[in-house]
Amino acid sequence: MVVAAEQIRNLNKYERSILLALERGMKRYSWVPLEHLRAATKLSESEVNYRLSRLIAWGMVRFNPVPYDGYALVFGGYDTLALTALTQKGTLSALGSLIGEGKESVVYEALSLGPVAIKFHRVGQRSFSSARINREYMEEGHCPWLVASKKSAEREYLALKTLHPVVSVPLPIAQNRHAVVMSLVDGGVLNRTPLETPEKTLDEILENVRKAYAAGVIHSDLSEYNILVENGRCVLIDWPQWIGTDHPNAEAIAGRDIDNILAFFRRKYKIRRDREVALQWVIG
């Protein structure tokens, strides 16, 4: 859950400096030593301890006493840094209610010049080892959850910028740390949305997959769970795991995406399409 807006508004400049110092320090440490925080912020020990106690109470920082007194930024603190930066830039003016939650992200409604969505990536909050294995863009060595989540957000934002508006994806607006701001899609998930013309919808999805492939992008995790239907139009979402068409396994991975979509329409609407014909049409 994102930290309460009131706590973000009440954040003292010293507390923000500690959050920033933790963010930098976690590139070197799993648990940032108290001495490092004192040196980085140039605050007294009593001041640092007081501010840390508040940040811990607000769910922004975690403390670990073994083998030394160390502190780590957790998602509440990382959310706070991202929201503060986006607000200062004028990208966001308010945060709304939760509208979606997946294995590695949460999505909130927010307000910019109009309604938007903000997606906070949460890579590894359930299984970081699995995330490291399954994401080829993860670096070897020390890569804490927060860094991995930032990389995930950067990749999704790059995919959206590459594909929009040729492919039906949300409009990318901004990205900061592990957060991506995009246009709000007012629609339901494909697997829970009754379709009046399922054949036409299947054609539309395959056409968008084909256009993405032509742009050099393969979703690599496409299914009925990350396609939204807005006023009869399909919108493909959740792009952090995309790969390029120059990947050595590009055809197989594109085929897996198509398999998932064809299986859904076959199961729910009894529509049968030849898998090889669909794949060859997509990859051209």
pLDDT of residue 126: 56
Tokens of 30: 């799993």
- Phi, psi dihedral angles at 85 (to 5 degrees): -65, -45
Instruction: Give the separation between CA 157 and CA 126, rounded to whole angstroms.
Output: 23
The winner for highest mean pLDDT among 34-48, 123-137, 140-154 is 34-48
Q: 274: how many CB neighbours lie within 10 A of its CB?
A: 10
Secondary structure (3-state) at 222: coil
Q: In this model, does residue 132 exceed pLDDT 60?
A: no
Of the two residues 273 and 284, the one the predictor is more confident about is 273
Q: In this model, does residue 99 exceed pLDDT 70?
A: yes
The answer to whether the beta carbons of residues 208 and 155 sit under 8 Å apart is no
Would you call 186 a catalytic residue per the annotation? no
Percent of the chain whose pLDDT exceeds 90? 84
Over residues 24-40, the mean pLDDT reads 93
Q: In this model, does residue 127 exceed pLDDT 90?
A: no
The predicted model scores a pTM of 0.92
* 205-258 residue pLDDT tens: 999 999 999 999 999 999 999 999 999 999 999 999 999 999 999 999 999 999
Over residues 101-123, the mean pLDDT reads 95
Instruction: Give the separation between CA 154 and CA 160, rounded to whole angstroms.
Output: 10
Indicate which residue of 79, 221, 238, 257 is catalytic: 221
Query: Residue 124: which pLDDT band, with cuts at 50, 70 and 90?
Result: confident
pLDDT of residue 70: 95
Residue type at 154 in one-letter notation: E
Tokens of 27: 């590139």
Q: In this model, does residue 142 exceed pLDDT 60?
A: no
